[in-house]
Amino acid sequence: MSVDTRTAETAETAETARAAATRGTAPGGPGAPAADGRLPLRTHLRHIGALVRRNALQIKRNPESMADALLTPIVFTLLFVYVFGGAISDEVTGGSYVNYVVPGLMSMMGLSIAMAVGTGVNDDVTKGVMDRFRSMPIARSSVLIAKVVVELGRMTLSMFILLGMGFLLGMDTPESVLRLLAAMGLSLLFGASLIWVFILLGLALPTPQAVQGLAMLIVLPLQFGSSIFTPTSTMPGWLETFTDYNPLSNLADAARALLHGGELAGPVAWTLGWALVITLTTAPLAVARFCRKT
């Protein structure tokens, strides 16, 4: 990145933060802090909106940052359908392999997008962007919530591309559009919980390389030790036990049940439970770490 570009980005970040801090927070006005220093909800939402705009403008300035969201679903779908699809029989998967793997890949999209958040947060901390936000009278959590909102937008785009590729390769159309939307919503909800995990890693580790390295160590066992690519019945007993409790397996099974039928209540309940536990555990830790880190 050139010096001029970095200077412009820093100035834009400062102006966005200043606008977020001052909009609706005039002394004695409706957005003024309460006696205990807490900002009203309306002001808090305005700050989040301004920070979402800042992150969206960064994407517009650097469109190559959307490459993972646009290309990953295409590459993954083609790769796994044509590499694994010929080796795994329809009897094993209970039908066409594309019907089996595409709902599983929905969980991978959330994980892939969430991984990139950690390195981005770490980079912002290293450049001092987060220190600028901390100098403004805005809620600390609004900075991180804005990150989550923008990444959910990128995740949604990836999901649509993934499903489009699946239909092009012959995936059966679900009987109900509502079930399709429910599968996407469940995947996005779980993906949001994963974003908090990688935000925490980005704040806790010293460099983007360290974040990426540790993230891969976490991601690979979860991805391949799951029911995303193949039924767990083909795995050794000890690995099958692990996959039964793997949240990605629960999400993949829930998405398959929503799109193509099957047991629904158990996988959905487990997925919602995992998303709730992960969010309630990592989101407060990430906000606390952000306050100390910056």
The residues spanned by each domain of the chain are 64-293
- The confidence score (pLDDT) of residue 4 equals 44
Over residues 244-287, the pLDDT tens digits come to: 889 999 999 999 999 888 888 999 999 999 999 999 999 999 98
C-alpha gyration radius of the chain? 21
Higher pLDDT pick, 159 / 125: 159
- The confidence score (pLDDT) of residue 15 equals 52
Average pLDDT value over all residues in the chain: 81
Where is average pLDDT lowest: 16-25, 105-114, 210-219, 223-232? 16-25
Over residues 185-203, the pLDDT tens digits come to: 999 999 999 999 999 998 8
Non-local (6+) Cβ contacts of 89 within 8 A are: none
Over residues 44-76, the pLDDT tens digits come to: 788 888 888 888 888 888 888 788 888 989 998
- The confidence score (pLDDT) of residue 276 equals 96
Burial (CB < 10 A; 0-12, 13-18, 19+), residue 10, is middle
The closest of 96, 205, 218, 112 to 158, measured between CA atoms, is: 112
In this prediction the pTM is 0.80
- The confidence score (pLDDT) of residue 56 equals 85
* CA–CA distance, 238 with 220 (Å, rounded to integer): 17
For 6, the token pair is: 């970095």
Are residues 31 and 44 in contact, defined by beta-carbon separation less than 8 angstroms? no
